[in-house]
Structure 1
Amino acid sequence: LSIVQRGKDHLARHGFDVDYLEVRTPDLQQATHLDQDLVVLVAAKLGATRLIDNLFIKHTH
């Protein structure tokens, strides 16, 4: 499974209805590998509440 699908599956197992989960570069291009700075963009519903969050992940060498 891709890391995106694994994230969606994890959220779904915990009761979230995922609208989207994307892993992108900081300039919002498609991430081609994980050994770089990344941004995780997610929107999901938990009950009647829609949650939106962005998480910046700094790659360290």
Structure 2
Amino acid sequence: MARLAVSADLKQRDRQLTDLQTDLRVNNAKLAEAQQAEALIMRKSRGLDDAKREVDLTV
């Protein structure tokens, strides 16, 4: 009886671990996507700032 309980508990923990690992992979992918988007925005912002400086210099 105790063996069955331990076995069931281990199976449940194994499922939880698998679920958490899946969640972690999904979250890591979302984080990487957000970081790429942030980097793109920063590059565009720097480009815009450079263009503004050029306009200011020509005026």
**Structure (1 or 2) with the greater helix fraction:** 2
TM-score computed with the length of structure 1 as normaliser: 0.23
Name which structure has the greater RCO, CA cutoff 8 Å, separation 6+. Answer: 1
**Structure (1 or 2) with the greater strand fraction:** 1
TM-score computed with the length of structure 2 as normaliser: 0.24
